[in-house]
């Protein structure tokens, strides 16, 4: 009866606590879809002309920087058998307008314009002029870029603001006249102004590391890089007859010595257990079977490590690790800086494909960049074969500064899985073993592995893999409590993770899945895991790390959330640049992140705490207009947060990837500044209540100089 009464009081069908999968929100904040969009159109006024949390005086400036957002008109739908867009089969007595309103746009918005990096500027200025080089352009008259600054400025889009983040922070903007905020640091003769005091303050400091030099890129493309350790290991495997066939599909061994798992995870007799143990011994020693039996290794062989890498236990059981989301490119460097500021202990770069790194692709190497504030940082690799993974590990061991290297064996993406990488390695036992042992031999830093419970939904493989990973030399394993078939649906199986903790001991095991509050983290730590890894939870509320450290629910205001977005924008301009290409990249990744941020429900609006990560937020009205705007799942409303109207049209107005968030034609959009640039100042860094771990895997961590 209480649930029915609550639904009647709310006046909204299907949003009460009786409906599974829907977040419980206090009745006074619930709204229908029509009421929600009417509230946004009226800028903070409900349909009954009643104020629902007008912004206070401190937020008046913030509200003025957010432009009006109107509901887009009739959305363009795909053509169906040559019929007009937006029309479907009509029943007798049903009008065309009514049908248009009922039909919902679905699927990918393939008609959106795709902007390539070379099209950001119609006329690009020569890099020799941007960098103020003393030497003339190397190409001379053959150069296809502009060399006349006045001509470039005449065709350049208007500035987005009167303050440049790079100029205000570092004293000099390296993008010169191409900067979209160039008016803040250009002199009367278009010369680039410099603040000498700030430049001296930052002189000699290394802000980011792990970049790809032109010399290394040239050597990789010409295949002139030597991989001595990798070639030696692969030669030893070739002598043992375990490389080159591409078939190595030995199933995961079971707990007993005479049993194994078939490809579907069912028990099957193991007729070649003796041969398997013999080959395991040869691979562990890195020698052919004949030399292993005789006990006389070849001269000059590399000293072998113990079966279990001397990593030891983690000293801090409240260690929190941040991991990028596999579905979208959101775990970028500016986002990790936000998370570090809120208390994340360990950060990991986005998944990088080993073959792309070996080919010297700049876009893939950009995923390895590390900010100087990331004191414990690792990179995550994806690959399917021991030759490429081992060579890539040796290359990174020589060229980048990382504290650990992670193998992604939890990626469920079809493109990766069908090539034998990601989750497919869990059922490709021989290849998985060869990859781990090879990378462990060529790395000087700990090797970690990220896995799922298994491939099929009801066939768990992790508990059988963990003892083998420990023997192969893995220093730490992270277990996501879902299978590949589950993807991100249903709940993570923390009971199974608890069982795997005992199986993996003494190897540290991190748990991952469905952590969106400090209470979720506490329940996860009760299972005995050495730490927790957070992905989607950090994307939805990056201040989650502060909540875990301080053991409290943070009812963050809309103004504070807007400040976080401003800081992300500034970090993005620092990382990707303040020219047109950098601004477009910042906008792109900001939109990607906003697709997660809109799922957050403020603490003060929830009927009971905490919010569950897989609960769908219903339509609700926030305590002020900005809070309601941030709850919208319409791309048009996200852009309303991002843009301040200007006079110049935007040739590359962002278009949504999904047809359900389609916008009006690009020509009707006005370009504006990212969050009006003028901020009330960055948020102060938050100190962690719990002590941070001085060691991980037996290695002291320290900031990069």
CA-CA distance, 426 to 282, in Å (whole number)?
22
> Residue 644 and residue 631: Cα distance in Å, rounded?
19
Q: 166-170, 243-247, 443-447: which range is least confident on average? A: 243-247
The CA–CA distances, whole Å, from 226 to 168, 211, 216, 231, 679 equal 44, 19, 12, 9, 50
Q: Quick check: 470 pLDDT over 60? A: yes
C-alpha span between 525 and 534 (Å, rounded) = 13
**DSSP for residue 676:** G
Round to whole Å and give the CA distance between 16 and 18: 5
Contact 491, 520 (CB under 8 A): no
Q: Choose among 653, 302, 280: nearest CA to 471.
A: 280
Model confidence at 537: pLDDT above 70: yes
Structure tokens at 256: 């007993």
Q: Which comes out higher in pLDDT, residue 194 or 672? A: 194
The pLDDT tens digits for 65-97 are 333 333 444 444 444 444 444 434 444 444 555
Mean model confidence pLDDT for the chain: 74
Token code pair at residue 638: 């996200």
Confidence of residue 558 (pLDDT cuts 50, 70, 90): very high
Over residues 528-545, the mean pLDDT reads: 94
Domain range list for the chain: 124-208, 214-218+306-550+689-700
Position 107 scores a pLDDT of 63
Q: State which CATH number among 3.40.50.970, 3.20.20.70, 3.40.640.10, 3.40.50.300 fits the domain covering 214-218+306-550+689-700.
A: 3.20.20.70
Give the whole-angstrom CA distance, residue 177 versus residue 535.
38
126 labelled catalytic: no
Q: What is the rounded average pLDDT of the residues 284-293? A: 35
pLDDT greater at residue 11 or residue 546: 546
Look at residue 651 in the predicted model and tell me its pLDDT. Answer: 35
The pLDDT value given to residue 240: 79
Tokens 């301040």 correspond to what residue?
644
Q: Cβ contacts of residue 273 below 8 Å, gap of 6+?
A: 257, 258, 260
- Please say whether the beta carbons of 407 and 447 come within 8 A: yes
Q: What is the pLDDT of residue 664?
A: 33
Q: Round to whole Å and give the CA distance between 63 and 625.
A: 8
Q: Answer with the residue of higher pLDDT: 664 or 604.
A: 604
- Who's near 84: CB < 8 A, 6+ residues apart? none
Given 411, 423, 500, 598, the catalytic residue: 411
The reported pTM is 0.73
Residue that the structure tokens 């469905």 belong to: 514
Percent of the chain predicted with pLDDT > 90: 49
Gap between the Cα atoms of 370 and 379, Å rounded: 9
Alpha-carbon span 33 to 123, nearest angstrom: 45
Could you tell me the two tokens for 188?
Answer: 């009367």
Give per-residue pLDDT as tens, 249-272: 444 444 333 333 333 333 343 333
Cα 176 to Cα 153: distance, rounded to the nearest angstrom: 12
Give the percent of the chain with pLDDT over 70.
64
pLDDT tens-digit series, residues 595-649: 999 999 999 999 999 999 989 999 999 998 899 999 999 888 888 885 433 323 3
Short-list 295, 236, 701, 294, CA closest to 441: 236
Residue 59 has pLDDT above 60, yes or no: no
The three-state secondary structure class of 174 is: coil
pLDDT of amino acid 637: 87
The reported pLDDT for the residue numbered 124 is 83
Tokens of 432: 């998985």
Which whole number is the average pLDDT over 223-233? 94
Do 453 and 481 contact (CB within 8 A), yes or no?
A: yes
Tell which residue, 198, 179, 443, has the closest CA to residue 309.
443
Question: So what's the pLDDT on residue 242?
Answer: 59
* C-alpha dist (Å) from residue 608 to 13, 71, 121, 599: 19, 31, 51, 17
């Amino acid at each position: 009866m209480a649930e029915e009464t609550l639904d009647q009081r709310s006046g909204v069908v299907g949003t009460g606590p009786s409906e599974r999968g829907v977040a419980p929100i206090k009745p006074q904040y619930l709204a229908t879809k029509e009421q929600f969009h009417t509230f946004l159109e009226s800028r903070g006024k409900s349909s009954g002309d009643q104020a629902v949390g007008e912004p206070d005086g401190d937020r008046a400036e913030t509200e003025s920087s957010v432009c009006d957002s109107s509901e887009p008109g009739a959305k363009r739908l795909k053509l169906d058998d040559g019929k007009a867009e937006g029309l479907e089969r009509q029943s007798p007595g049903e009008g065309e307008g009514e049908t248009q309103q009922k039909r919902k746009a679905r699927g990918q918005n393939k008609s959106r314009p795709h902007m390539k990096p070379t099209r950001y500027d119609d006329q690009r200025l020569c890099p020799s002029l941007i960098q103020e080089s003393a030497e003339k352009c190397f190409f001379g008259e053959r150069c296809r870029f502009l060399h006349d600054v006045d001509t470039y400025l005449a065709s350049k889009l208007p500035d987005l603001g009167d303050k440049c983040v790079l100029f205000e922070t570092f004293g000099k903007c390296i993008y010169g006249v191409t900067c979209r905020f160039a008016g803040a640091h250009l002199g009367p003769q278009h010369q680039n102004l410099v603040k000498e005091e700030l430049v001296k303050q930052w002189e000699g400091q290394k802000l980011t590391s792990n970049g790809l030099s032109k010399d290394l890129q040239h050597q990789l493309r010409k295949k002139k890089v030597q991989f001595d350790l990798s070639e030696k290991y692969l030669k030893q495997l070739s002598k043992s007859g375990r490389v080159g066939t591409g078939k190595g599909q030995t199933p995961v061994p079971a707990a007993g010595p005479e049993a194994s798992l078939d490809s579907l995870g069912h028990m099957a007799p193991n007729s070649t257990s003796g041969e398997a143990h013999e080959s395991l011994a040869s691979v562990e020693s890195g020698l052919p079977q004949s030399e292993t039996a005789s006990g006389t290794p070849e001269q000059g062989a590399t000293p072998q490590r113990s079966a279990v890498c001397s990593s030891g236990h983690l000293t801090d059981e409240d260690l929190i690790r941040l991991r990028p989301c596999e579905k979208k490119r959101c775990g970028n460097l500016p986002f990790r800086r936000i998370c570090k500021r809120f208390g994340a202990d360990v950060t990991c770069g986005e998944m990088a494909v080993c073959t792309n790194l070996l080919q010297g692709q700049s876009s893939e190497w950009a995923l390895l960049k590390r900010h100087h504030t990331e004191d414990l940082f690792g990179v995550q690799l994806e690959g399917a074969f021991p030759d490429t993974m081992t060579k890539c590990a040796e290359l990174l061991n020589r060229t980048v500064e990382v504290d650990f290297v992670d193998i992604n064996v939890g990626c469920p993406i079809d493109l990766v899985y069908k090539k034998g990488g990601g989750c497919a390695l869990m059922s490709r036992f021989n290849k998985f073993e060869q990859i781990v042992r090879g990378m462990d031999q060529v790395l000087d830093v700990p090797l970690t592995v990220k896995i799922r419970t298994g491939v099929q939904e009801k066939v768990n493989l992790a508990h059988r893999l963990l003892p083998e990973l420990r023997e192969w030399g893995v220093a730490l394993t992270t277990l996501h409590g879902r299978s590949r078939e589950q993807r991100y649906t249903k709940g993570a199986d923390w009971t199974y993770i608890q069982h795997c903790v005992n199986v993996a001991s003494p190897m540290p095991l991190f748990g991952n899945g469905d952590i969106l509050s400090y209470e979720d983290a506490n329940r996860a730590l009760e299972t005995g895991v050495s730490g927790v890894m957070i992905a989607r939870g950090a994307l939805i509320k990056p201040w989650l790390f502060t909540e875990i450290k301080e053991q409290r629910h943070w009812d963050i205001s809309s103004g504070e959330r807007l400040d976080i977005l401003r800081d992300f924008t500034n970090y993005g301009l620092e990382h990707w640049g303040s020219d047109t290409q950098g601004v477009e990249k910042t906008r792109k990744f900001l939109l990607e992140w906003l697709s997660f941020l809109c799922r957050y429900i403020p603490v003060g609006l929830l009927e009971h705490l905490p919010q569950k990560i897989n609960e769908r937020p219903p339509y609700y009205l926030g305590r002020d207009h900005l809070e309601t705007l941030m709850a919208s799942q319409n791309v048009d409303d996200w852009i309303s947060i991002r843009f301040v109207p200007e006079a110049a049209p935007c040739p590359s107005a962002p278009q949504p990837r999904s047809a359900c968030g389609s916008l009006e034609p690009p020509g009707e959009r006005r370009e504006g500044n990212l969050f009006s640039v003028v901020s009330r100042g960055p948020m102060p860094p938050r100190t962690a209540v719990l002590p941070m771990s001085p060691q991980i895997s037996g290695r002291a961590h320290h900031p990069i100089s």
